Amino acid sequence: MEAELRSVTATLFLCFLLFPLVFSASNDGLLRVGLKKRKFDQNNRVAANLHSKNGDAVTAVIRKYNLRGTLGDDQDIDIVSLKNYMDAQYFGEIGIGTPPQKFTVIFDTGSSNLWVPSSKCYFSIACYLHPKYKSSSSTTYSKNGKPAAIQYGTGAISGFFSEDHVTVGDLVVKDQEFIEATKEPGITFLVAKFDGILGLGFQEISVGNAVPVWYNMVKQGLLKEPVFSFWFNRNADEEVGGEIVFGGVDPDHYVGEHTYVPVTQKGYWQFDMGDVLIDGQTTGFCAGGCAAIADSGTSLLVGPTTIITELNHAIGATGIVSQECKTVVAEYGDTIIKMILAKDQPQKICSQIGLCTFDGTRGVSVGIKSVVDEDNHKSSAGLSDAMCSACEMTVVWMQNQLKQNQTQDRILDYVNQLCDRLPSPMGESAVDCAGLSSMPSVSFTIGGKQFDLAPEQYVLKVGEGEVAQCISGFTALDVPPPRGPLWILGDVFMGQYHTVFDYGNERIGFAEAA
């Protein structure tokens, strides 16, 4: 698993749109958090590029979603990944203490803790570039002192818990437990426009089992309904970037009705998702269902490599050729097709031809010459694992093509094309900005309803005119059963579909954004 994930984008969770937040009260009993657009900052691109060269960022992705199961004996450790896409982030202002000390924080449904820099942070440069919480200046501070640590791809923040009042707009959440960060290593913190993170996930993934801010809003009777909702304005030309509404939903933010699905696993806002379609045609991979997470802290749409590769092929995105994939097709393509037609169990085909084993050691390659020069001193385990993964993807692709009654030659040609579209090691897949009109729609099935994305919605455009660059909004991450296959629906999806996080009924809802 670890070897496979190293080929996934290291910028995966450096994907965030940078907006300052403006809070506003309303007479309808809702707390509104207004999102505004901030100009592109070259320093943030530099930070993202530097971070993208660190493979540990992928480990942060794994740990953020607890993809390996337990994180070890230390129950105070959970993993969160910073996100920083090229031109913006979502963040907003809160206050901690009495009188309130102001901080900008990310509102992240993919984590559950609140943390800000501490005045006791002496040895991290990042702390000197951001406001720091000073407990002695607050009349409502209560000492806690329990140690805490949250790990990131570029390092880790660590510190200790404290308790104080937290102000969000006009709401004052009393005696809120939060982390004072005393160490903030890593370049990301140096250039970040935010000071900390305010998590909106469930308590099950909270570091130190701290009660999230959102829980205390409900418990202290500050909201009329145990609900919050996100509306992101994806029109870059407009100043207002969107709103987070605490306590309900704003009917002006969506059209039609919400489609609700139950939360299937508390921690992240996880639910069951159905088939993924390209121009209305099934891809087959999630026809039997996949798990999905709605994450306001992730810009892109993240899914299994097999289907992300099909999507990138369909939209003409280019990555780096996977030699392992082409080797599997060249040497075993005919055999795999025959075995599928003979109705052999698809999940056993790769082990039967010797590319995978399932006796506890995954991805043992047999009889295939290494495509890695021995002088590179690279581990053969990674190569073997890649061959196994390539075989598994090939079986899925060929199954889908056979269902469409394609000839063997056409199937082999198509799968070779998919090999060419496998994501590059950094995960970036570029597309031709001039080709948007010819790209297909991509649809996700949730609650029995199709949610469509047009090319202009799933392609990220950076810059204007001749210097403009377009990037696929799809990137890959492979999560094995039983937790996977897993999709992470970030801002590319949430920007088109108003999202309701219904804590009281433990469900999540989507409707077309207004």
Alpha helices (runs of H) in 176-240, residue ranges in sequence order? 187-191, 213-219
Query: Is the distance from CB of 222 to CB of 215 less than 8 angstroms?
Result: no
Helix (H, G, I), strand (E, B) or coil at 374: helix
Q: Let me know if 237 is a catalytic residue.
A: no
Q: How far apart are CA 508 and CA 501, in angstroms?
A: 5
The structure tokens listed for 142 are 């209560």
Catalytic entry in 78, 195, 295, 478: 295
Cβ contacts of residue 263 below 8 Å, gap of 6+?
269, 270, 271, 506, 507, 508
Catalytic entry in 78, 87, 108, 164: 108
Q: How far apart are CA 114 and CA 213, in angstroms?
A: 7
Query: Is the distance from CB of 117 to CB of 133 less than 8 angstroms?
Result: yes
In the block, which residue shows the tokens 């592109």? 40
**Strand segments (E) across 253-377:** 254-262, 270-273, 276-278, 281-282, 290-294, 301-303
Alpha helices (runs of H) in 187-299, residue ranges in sequence order? 187-191, 213-219
Q: In what order do the strands lie in the sheet with 21-25?
A: 21-25, 31-36, 240-246, 227-232, 497-502, 507-513, 254-262
In the block, which residue shows the tokens 């433990």? 506
Residues in the chain: 514
- Measured N-to-C along each axis, helices 305-314 and 380-403 cross at an angle, to the nearest 10 degrees, of 60
> Which of 236, 394, 245 lies closest to 325 in space, CA to CA?
394
**Strand segments (E) across 112-238:** 114-117, 142-152, 155-168, 171-183, 196-199, 227-232
Q: At residue 230, what is the residue type?
A: F
Inter-CA distances, 71 with 97, 220, 397, 405, Å: 32, 32, 34, 45
The alpha carbons of the chain give a radius of gyration, in whole angstroms, of 23
Q: In what order do the strands lie in the sheet with 270-273?
A: 270-273, 290-294, 486-489, 301-303, 474-476
Q: Cis omega before residue 485 (within 30°)?
A: yes
Q: Let me know if 295 is a catalytic residue.
A: yes
Active site residues: 108, 295
